[in-house]
Amino acid sequence: MSAEVEELLKRFQSMKNVTGIVVVDNDGIPIKTTLEYNLTLHYAALMQTVREKARQVVLDLDATNEFTFLRLRTEQNELLLCPQEDYFIMVIQSPCD
């Protein structure tokens, strides 16, 4: 898993306007982060519930379908959530120019 995570991290870090990345395993434990400790825990806990909600809704609409990516835009930034089998990556992006 580790090499794959590093590869994804590199990919997201090279994206424009990325201000934070957190990788969270399926138990909700942050395994990589670029944020400070408390903020990492806060994002990990909340985005874990977003991942679960998205997964459930997509399955409920069609049991053969699967949730692959989520982009949540807010007034201040964008949160990207990329689910993988054993973990998910959450990326914070400041608004594009």
**Chain contacts with a copy of itself (rule: CB under 8 A):** 42-43, 46-47, 49-50, 53-54, 57-58, 60-62, 64-77
Q: 78 and 92 in contact (C-beta within 8 Å)?
A: yes
CB closer to a copy of itself, 2 vs 76: 76
Q: From the CB of 2, what's the least distance to a copy of itself, in Å?
A: 26
**Token digits of residue 65:** 């379908």
Torsion angles phi and psi, residue 23, rounded to 5: -110, 130
3-state secondary structure (DSSP) of residue 79: strand
Q: From the CB of 10, what's the least distance to a copy of itself, in Å?
A: 21
Q: From the CB of 49, what's the least distance to a copy of itself, in Å?
A: 7
